Amino acid sequence: MTIKYINKSLYYIFNIIASIAVKDEWINLKSLLVSEATRYSSLPKPHPNILQFLIIGEDRRHGIHPGFDIIGITRAIWRKVSLSKIEGASTIAQQLVRTLTNRRDHTFQRKTKEILLAVLATNHFGALQLAHIYLQIAYYGTDMNGLSAAARNLNLNYSQASIFEAAALIARIKYPQPKNHSLKREIQIKNRAQYLLKLNDNPNWVKINKHLIK
């Protein structure tokens, strides 16, 4: 049984469950997503490198899974149990749901709803459009709520960002820029950007996902 077949099966099953279990929450979320999609469509388009690094850094199986990454979740559980290390497994769709609903409580119920809403959002809007929306509203640091604010604070023209500027911007999603200068955080952002650049050179990622960048 291939991963593709498993993901298609999960996509079908979870869509049915989600359409029943989170019906009211989905109505509210869909309205927010439509509003954000309309807003970002009128803004200058970010350089493709920025979207590319978002997917590389936050959701490497983007466009393949149904809105949640069963491989990433399994790996995170294994690392937690066997190595006592905490590893994130949220997809871009899940992070977008979390940001728009502003629900971050660490409960099984909240996480389950987040996954179900991410499945419905992926089915309705498509993985690529969700990535575009998340890019516009993600938190990049103090006074950097969203791409426009981040670009303004960094004095960055995001439509013409260099490849390193794009990687450094997305690095701030994992390591948000603090209000006061921090050498430790500056190094973390730089190292994360270098890591994303290295992943970008991986031919396996290019083969699987690069066709999604438009």
Q: Per-residue confidence at 214, pLDDT binned at 50, 70, 90? A: very low
For 79, the token pair is 């690392």
139 in Cβ contact with 176 (< 8 Å): yes
CATH classification of the domain holding 151: 1.10.3810.10
- Taking the model in full, what pTM does it have? 0.86
Return the number of other C-beta atoms located less than 10 Å from residue 107's C-beta.
9
- Kindly report the average pLDDT of the chain as a whole number: 87
The domain tally of the chain equals 1
Q: What percent of the chain is predicted at pLDDT more than 70?
A: 85
| pLDDT score of 198 | 93
| pLDDT score of 56 | 92
Containing domain of residue 169, as a range? 3-212
Encode pLDDT of 33-57 as tens digits. Answer: 999 999 988 889 999 999 999 999 9
Report how far residue 106's alpha carbon sits from residue 89's, in angstroms, rounded to the nearest whole number: 14
| pLDDT score of 180 | 94
